[in-house]
Structure 1
Amino acid sequence: MSDFLLELRSEEIPARMQERAREDLAKLFAAELAKAGLKTAEIVTYATPRRLALIARDLPLATEAVREEVKGPRASAPPQALEGFLRKTGLTRDDLVERDGVLFAITDKLGRATAEVLAEAVPAVIRAFPWPKAMRWGAASSSTESPRWVRPLQGIVALLDEDVVPFEVAGVASGAATVGHRFHHPGVITIGSAQDYVEKLRACHVVVDGAERRASIAVGAKLAAQGAGLSLVEDEGLLFENAGLTEFPMPLLGRFDASYLSVPPEVIQLTARVNQKYFVCRDADGNLADAFVCTANIDAEDGGDQIVEGNRKVLAARLSDAKFFYETDLKTPLDELRPKLDKIVFHEKLGTVADKVERVAKLARWLVEAGVVRAADAASSPFATPVSTTHPVTPAKAGVSPERAGQEPREMPASAGMTGGADGATARLADMAERAARLAKADLVTGMVGEFPELQGLMGGYYAAAQGEPVEVAEAIRDHYKPVGQGDDVPTTPVTVAVALADKLDTIFAFFAINEKPTGSKDPFALRRAALGVISLITANSLRLSLYKAWSFWRMFARLSVPPSVDHAYTSSLDFFADRLKVQQREAGVRHDLVDAVFALGGEDDLVRLLARVQALQGFVGTEDGANLLAGYKRAANILKKEGFEGAAEATAPGYAPEPAEAALIAALDAAEPRAAAAVEAEDFEGAMAALASLRAPIDAFFDQVTVNDADPAKRTARLALLARVRAAVHRVADFSRIEG
């Protein structure tokens, strides 16, 4: 058995591509081996900024001899078919074997040396490599047939044990030579075999294992922060990026001017992260500290002092820009920025961002006034969460004009005649929801969000707080995009919930109204994410919302050139919500067929009520009574379908003396139907299931003792009608025909 080493050395590989490249290299290499009938015990891959490497362990010295059999035409086939098959296989008619009137081409292939297979496999891997972006280089680049790689290839190491596997790609011949660290050991290194590859490069200041580099950075950065009495703000994505930028990482701690801490901490962290790839730190109180950790690629003789100073200067320039944007933005109230939204197109068929803001504001207010979002729970906890627990924004900071400094939070106007009590609380909540919705998108035209689009919403929250808006309004502006993905926080404060829900509902309703729905894997307007956000907001806050009522209200003021069949757009959107709900609930352990069974009843668009019914149904079908009732229901439904019976399902006395089991089922239905109906009306779905469970034994006895298709037409019709009653009773809770099993 032999080990094979492959190293593809190039100019710098972007950090974001390295991990995927390792996976692709292993997959493509294994596929090429499989084509030749070779198997390896293990494939290990490595990636650094300058090299992509692979080690395949325990390869056989040669492939095994194989016999290939290709089925051809029948012996009686026309001559043209036989001639085509002979051309394809390169054989003569006498070489073919006939079995059961069919011709077969059978060839014996001798085994091949593994080195020969590898010499063909590696160039094929390089040619097929799926880099997200690749380039051509040199004189050959004038042809589209020239090889492509992420950056120009500079060297190839290909060793099967100690022997070079000879081949050439893009003018680069394989060999045993590579280079070490760009600065510490730029000279040529000769690799002996796969066994000494990792350690030989380590001796030359190259850590080829990305996991080892990440661990080194994580530990080094944490120790550097702790040495200064600080704690590191951990960031896994940044860890991968720094590891992808260095071959010999050395974390170093530096300081920046503390005056920049007047800028919101998220801005400082994003500036350091996105522009410079630095980690940030917190002090003992949990506040952002005037410190950063950069990752050098060399072990500097001065301990990294010059590197830190250079990075400090670059970061200072970035933070100076951020501070300028922030202070400039604070000078213009959000109200004065709103007219600029008229110049930003949201969608050519949906108008401008200002048009969207108008729709969201009206819908947010309606959600409160319709009682979907309530102020009742606000009395004991009046939304006291600050805009930032680590960096509260106050008007006295960051260049706010003197006349605005120290200003008290703005009071929202109270609706006439509704200044106290529950109605007054609702009116104030509705005013705040509308106000927050009208200001929520204003930060899109600020300098800070123009520089960092990731901060939209967040900066609006800071600016709103600084200009004296109520904390509830500032919070809603800050968080109205949430939740933006799985694991994100779901807003729970009423003003934020109203605005966040209105924003997402408007997006879904609007795009479905113009028939711009997700198709396959394409979802350019992130409607799936918006729908999951709506579901999370509704379920986390137990909001009793009729999606149809929300759609109907939205339609009244949307002012869109919607298709003629507007209700079809709503139906499509409800189906879309059902699909998203199944995805979300699957992760919670809820069966998708049970969601289908409840949605199939039609008319159910209250997701809280729907999920309560689904959960009760899941508990019921998992019991013996539930499983047996499901079996009895399906037997009844199958008989009705086979007979094409569409008669009435009302309780009517048969015109004959029913058999005992028949009479027992009638009595059981007479008792269960009103109990189930009353329980469903009271949203006591467990009670409804219990009522249905009482039908289990009578249904079993009925099928055991009664002939449905009796020779007497009257009995047959009455008994089919009785089965229709069973089906109708069950359908009060769910469409059991959609349940699997």
Structure 2
Amino acid sequence: MPELLVELFSEEIPARMQRKAAEDLKKAVTNALVDAGLVYEGAKAFVTPRRLALTVTGLPARSPDTREERKGPRVGSPQQAIDGFLKAAGLGSIDEAKIETDPKKGEFYVAHIEKQGAEATDILATLLPKVITGFDWPKSMQWGNGGLTWVRPLRAITATFGTDNDEPVVIPFKSNTVASGQTTFGHRFLAPDAIWVKRFDDYVQALEKAKVVLDIDRRKEIIRADADNLAFAQGLSVIHDEGLLEEVAGLVEWPVVMMGSFDPAFLEVPEEVIIATIRANQKCFCLRDSSGKLAPFFIITSNQVAADGGKTIVAGNERVIRARLSDARFFYQTDLVLPLEHGLPKLEESVFHAKLGTQFQRVERLVKLSGEIAPKVGANPELAKRAAMLAKADLTTGMVGEFPELQGIMGRYYALAQGEPLAIANAIADHYKPLGPTDLVPGEPVAIAVALADKLDTLKGFWSIDEKPTGSRDPFALRRAALGVIRIVTDNNLRFPLEVEPDLLSFFHDRLKVTLRDAGARHDLVDAVIGKDSNDMLEITERVEALSKLLGSEDGKNLLAGYKRAANILAAEEKKDGKGFSAPVDPALLSLAEEAALAEAIASVDVAVAAKVGANDYQGAITALGTLRQPVDRFFEAVLVNDPDAAIRANRLSLLSKLRDTMRQVADFSKVAG
């Protein structure tokens, strides 16, 4: 079957936009193909700094003929309804419709619409320019007389269609001033001449000869492997950075990896500063020596095969990096002169949020809140308050002004340099954590106190001004803040009830549900243990784990079945009588051994479960519940709940009510599936 090849050749596409653009192109074209009746076998998109490419295989030569039956209004309907039907069905008059009869609805109009298929080339010639015109770039520019809005000026369009055995045809269309054809171009410097292509296989081969690696993931692997090999030969190892690797692979079409060096004297500057400087300014990877220390070397990825083996390229990068590291060292040494707290007044000039005040006002809230949280997490309140006071001070430093991603990290270095206790310095660095699902949470008490204060102040503040996440929109990263609180509490096994308003507590519940479900917990078990007032995230987590263990056993499954039976009986009787059965169980009315045994077991287990729950021992509480399995089974085997004697019946229903209440101390079993 025929194959489609499309390439949009342009000036350099920003690296950060490339991968998504390739996927967007594939999605736009394939969706349009399916809508047009051209079902394909496979599609794959590619991207380099200067081209978006797409191959679609297994396309039919033409779309199939179709026959559609469209039901219209009833005979005798108002003319407006009939006119709407005619327009939608593409009919000239109502005489072109047929009348059919339905036993219930009577006579109504039906249009039988037959559409002839179209040649794939004609369909493609229509849809491809629409895809280009409607392409959604994060940022774009308008260029040329045709007024096309595109990320960068388009220089050539390749669009061919055909089988392996036939000469492919060019899909004829024009976008702006650029007409489609079969001509693309190789590497800008190494092989800039025009390349005539027919189909995808020879296109890839021709590009490779012209020093273009089409697949971004292959370029990444080349860079990664060559960098590792080059470092290994020098007894070093690359500090891998997936984000930087993705960006560098988007800057080159023919990756050539080299190694440069810098003056070891710069290693007196914190390594995070060196890495950030080299990464941000030159897009280079840093290296470590065999002991794990930062080495005075870096990896460059060039887009050139230099005649001198890369000496000039390396020297140019070394010269720029030397200047950048000199600047960084100046910032660092200048920042060290003044104690951190001297920067606090400058925070009064920095607005945190128009409705929530300045950064300085926020620091004042953090100091108060950290002092309140500290005793609850085993931290020294005075150390926590001091750490909170200094936590944002490095935002006023020259280094953080240059590299905002180093906030907290630089604060730690400056705090240690001015003699602050290690607990305070670590809290300054760690209070932003966790920054993502793979990031570690703070583990020291003072850092925990400040981190919780930071996130809770953010959440409470934005809730108070009604700036809550909506849908996928979360400009203030409030979901991340809530997940951070949950992870800090649960990872550190902290009993830390959240004192927040009901709506914010519900938001925490939603975040916790996502976390637990991602960890493999059953959604019904999560719902069973979370009540509207459940404010202890660790308690909820432990209850879910304990309940999951119980219901994974035969005793648990049978006990759940017994609970469901009891609950169903109670629900039916409570609905019938319009009242509950909360009266104490009367031992004198327990005439059968099985009901007496169940009453005794419930009384014992109820006390045990209450004690275990009070001691936060949910596994112990669940284990105690598990002992009810046999007396519950025997009760339902031998006892008729709805006894003819009204008093006995009410007493037995009270017994089942007590069973339900006892089990609800741990979870709402009515929400558990099964």
Instruction: State TM-score, norm by structure 1.
Output: 0.84
Letter of the structure 1 residue corresponding to residue 431 of structure 2: H
Task: Give the distance between the partners of 2:372 and 2:8, measured in 1 at CA.
Answer: 62
Q: Following superposition of structure 1 onto structure 2, how do residues 362-381 of structure 1 map, counting pairs within 5 Å?
A: 362-370=368-376, 372-373=377-378
1:291 CA drift (Å): 1.7
- Output the CA distance in 1 between the equivalents of 2:362 and 2:372: 15
Match of 2:173 in 1: 167
- Matched length: 660
- The aligned counterpart of 1:503 is 454
Q: How many Å apart are 1:739 and its aligned residue?
A: 2.2
Whole-angstrom CA distance in 2 between matches of 1:87 and 1:342 = 65
CA contact (8 A) 1:651 1:670 kept: no
3-state SS, counterpart of residue 295 of structure 1: strand
Contact 1:373-1:543 within 8 A present in 2 as well: no
1:716 shift after superposition:
4.3
2:396 aligned to which of 439, 445, 453: 445
Q: Does residue 669 of structure 2 align to residue 736 of structure 1?
A: yes
Per the alignment, residue 566 of structure 2 pairs with 636
Q: How far off its partner does 1:648 sit?
A: 5.3
For 1:511-531, what per-residue CA distance to the aligned partner results, in whole angstroms no more than 9, with x for missing partners? 334443333323232222122
In structure 1, the partner of 2:538 is 608
* Aligned-residue RMSD, C-alpha: 2.4
Q: Where does structure 1 lack aligned partners over 5 or more consecutive residues?
A: 142-146, 375-428, 549-568
Helix, strand or coil for the counterpart of 1:148? strand
How many angstroms does 1:698 deviate by? 4.0
Evaluate the alpha carbon distance shift between residue 521 and residue 56 of structure 1 in structure 2; reply closer, same or farther with a 3 A threshold. closer
In the alignment, is residue 98 of structure 1 matched against residue 99 of structure 2?
A: yes
Q: What's the offset of the Cα at 1:212? A: 1.9
Distance change >3 Å, CA 97–CA 189, structure 1 → 2: same
C-alpha separation between the residues in 2 aligned to 1:50 and 1:590? Answer: 46
Shift of 1:713: 4.4
Quote the residue 2:158 is aligned against.
157
- Tell me the residue number matched to 1:77: 77
* Deviates further, 485-494 or 663-672: 663-672
Residue of structure 1 in register with 2:165 after alignment: none
Asked if residue 589 in structure 1 is aligned to residue 559 in structure 2, the reply is no
1:274 to partner: Cα distance: 1.7
Query: Partner amino acid for 1:226?
Result: F
CA–CA distance in 2 between the matches of 1:572 and 1:13? 44
Query: In structure 1, what residue type is equivalent to 2:247?
Result: E
Percent identity reads: 51
Residue 265 to residue 174, structure 1, CA distance change in 2 (3 Å)? same
In structure 2, the CA distance between the partners of 1:51 and 1:606, relative to structure 1 (3 Å rule), is same
Q: Give 1:137 deviation, angstroms.
A: 1.3
Aligned counterpart for 2:224 among listed residues 218, 225, 228: 218
- Aligned pair partner of 2:352 in 330, 346, 357: 346
- Bigger CA drift: 431-440 or 192-201? 431-440
Q: Are 1:694 and 2:627 counterparts?
A: yes
Q: Does 1:679 align with 2:609?
A: no
Unaligned runs of 5+ in 2: 102-106, 163-167
Q: Tell me how far 1:706 sits from its aligned partner.
A: 4.7
Q: Is the 8 A contact 2:529 2:540 kept in 1?
A: yes
Which secondary structure does the structure 2 equivalent of 1:289 belong to?
strand
Rounded to whole Å, the distance in 1 between the matches of 2:85 and 2:463 is: 54
How far apart are the structure 1 equivalents of 2:617 and 2:232?
Answer: 56
Q: Which residue of 1 aligns with 2:654?
A: 721
Which of these residues, 119, 122, 125, is aligned with residue 116 of structure 1?
122
Q: How far apart in 2 are the matches of 1:472 and 1:247?
A: 48
Higher alpha-carbon deviation: 699-708 or 509-518 = 699-708
**Conserved 8 A contact 1:26-1:54:** yes
Shift of 1:329: 0.7
Tell me which of 237, 257, 274 is aligned to 1:231.
237
Paired position in structure 2 for 1:456? 407
Q: Deviations over 1:683-713 (max 9, x none)?
A: 3333322332333344445455555455654
Amino acid at match of 2:525: L
Deviations 1:482-502 (A, max 9, x none): 111101012222322222223
Q: Distance in 1 between matches of 2:373 and 2:246?
A: 43
In structure 1, distance between residues paired with 2:638 and 2:73: 59
On the 8 A contact 1:650/1:725 being kept in 2, the answer is: no
Query: How big is each residue's C-alpha offset from its partner over 1:586-623, in whole Å with a ceiling of 9 and x where there is no partner?
Result: 222222332332222x6543333332222111111222
Q: How far has the Cα of 1:199 moved from its partner?
A: 0.7
Structure 2 equivalent of residue 408 of structure 1: none
| Cα deviation, residue 80, structure 1 | 3.8
Measure, in 2, the Cα distance between the counterparts of 1:712 and 1:349: 68
Report what 2:482 is aligned to. Answer: 531
Report how far residue 662 of structure 1 moved: 4.0
CA distance in 1 between partners of 2:447 and 2:557 (Å): 43
SS of equivalent residue, structure 2 residue 259 = strand
| Equivalent residues of 1:473, 1:495 under 8 A apart | yes
Partner of 1:305: 311
- Partner residue, 1:518: 469
Provide the C-alpha distance between the structure 2 equivalents of 1:112 and 1:446, rounded to a whole number of angstroms: 66
User: Could you say if the C-alpha distance between residues 700 and 285 of structure 1 is closer, same or farther in structure 2, counting changes exceeding 3 Å?
Assistant: closer
- Mean Cα deviation higher: 186-195 or 503-512: 503-512
Residue 603 of structure 2 corresponds to which residue in structure 1?
670
Q: Which moved more, 1:644-653 or 1:609-618?
A: 644-653
Deviations along 1:197-224, one digit per CA (max 9) or x if unpaired, are: 0111111122212122112212222233
Inter-partner Cα distance in structure 2 for 1:659 and 1:202: 87
Instruction: Give per-residue Cα distances to partners, 1:282-319, cap 9 Å, x unaligned.
Output: 22322222222222111111112222222222222222
What secondary structure does 2:143 align onto? coil
CA distance, structure 2, for counterparts of residue 466 and residue 709 of structure 1:
78
| Paired amino acid for 1:10 | S
Q: What is aligned with 1:578?
A: 509
